[in-house]
Structure 1
């Protein structure tokens, strides 16, 4: 019941926001700066061919490749730090420092290194998304109950059994929390990379339309990027619910 009320409240809020936006845009009457939602929808329909066929697959490829690399890299580093205190002391400060540098300042450097290929955008995406996965997974691996660990040791369990039967289940909720943050950031990373150097993609298309002062065409790919982020978040949430049924039952 509470979930239904929450969904209804969110729906009403979004509807009210869109109505206010529509009215304000028509009152200002400067569609190249503030297009109304109806104008953005019309532009989406008008540009559905190039957006969905030419630019959307490029952005999706960047996001998926970047997320896969971030998951492998982030989980691998987290496991390494959890089993090696010396690795944790050496690597953790570097991971933190990597987030202190503005990504928008590094993106042009990646373009110089990798050109306008997909890999310059993938590197930007990885740099943004691996951090929450790494930190959350590492914290999850450290959150295993010490009492249960000592009990397993007294029962003759080895490091392998403790890792897979205690630490991994303890880390999974933290991993999914980091992944839910990462999937939304992956959209931002791909868009930033395409804005600063690309030949195709939703971010590239939005930047190109900005030079033509077509406000609705600038917003159209942004709407698609937002939908991608929402869909990815819902997918991760669904996988989390399916794989962590034991947490609900407990």
Structure 2
């Protein structure tokens, strides 16, 4: 069976277990709606839900893109300069330990309502894995390749472009794949506090009106969106780094 087949089977099993639990224990729809109830809620407002999903998607992608840009710059600085690592690594760890939910009201105060605080929240949530993977990848270049470049008197910039950065890409993509789902989490957190649109806003509004099925429909859309973004990144990795699959053990 192909990877898509196994993934589809996993989804079918999960949805079947959900329907079985909801039916077997006669759980009220207001607490745990059945899959059929969630589908009905989606079909009740499909255009509205897809419009809100598009808003969250834009915030997620923009926040993720900004985190990649910032993470690459800071990660390269940490990897290239020991002083930068000693100065900023403790600050990055401390910042990562701060619950980002606590920053959401402050972002509203600083930036007001709108897209900006939600994009910044997405950036903040997924920023640390990117920095960590970039710094870790650049500092784990095979030493024999570095020695070969030195023996040939290769300039540092050329060594970085031809050896260090390509060797770091597999680990960088690991960090990107961790960060991508976190970006959608950050966007939704921002929508909880500063949103007048987006899937997070739909979840809050549906929960407040006890429309649990609609909230679950928004959550399901968020999950589908995250899956698509994650596997788009996996596809990009396979296209850009074809040698990785050839040089690692097949599963």
- For residue 234 of structure 1, the aligned residue among 215, 226, 231 is 231
Match of 2:209? 212
Match of 1:64? 61
Match of 2:18? 18
Distance 1:111 1:24, change over 3 A: farther
Structure 1 window deviating more from structure 2 (164-173 vs 232-241): it is 164-173
- For residue 138 of structure 2, the aligned residue among 141, 146, 150 is 141
Match of 1:107? 104
Which structure 1 residue ranges, 4+ long, deviate > 4 Å from structure 2? 1-9
Contact 2:19 2:34 in 1 (8 A): no
Structure 1 window deviating more from structure 2 (2-11 vs 232-241): it is 2-11
1:16-49 residue CA offsets vs partner (Å, 9 max, x unmatched): 4233244247x12x21121111100110111112
Contact 1:122 1:190 in 2 (8 A): yes
Contact 1:22 1:38 in 2 (8 A): no
Q: CA RMSD in A?
A: 1.8
Match of 2:221? 224
Match of 2:175? 178
Contact 2:192 2:201 in 1 (8 A): yes
Distance 1:203 1:11, change over 3 A: closer
1:227 to partner: Cα distance: 0.6
Match of 2:78? 81
Gaps of 5+ in 1: none
Q: Distance in 2 between matches of 1:88 and 1:146?
A: 20
Distance 1:3 1:213, change over 3 A: closer
Q: Distance in 2 between matches of 1:114 and 1:70?
A: 18
TM-score, normalised to structure 1's length?
A: 0.93
Contact 1:21 1:37 in 2 (8 A): no
Q: Distance in 1 between matches of 2:165 and 2:246?
A: 18
1:147 to partner: Cα distance: 1.7
Distance 1:179 1:19, change over 3 A: same
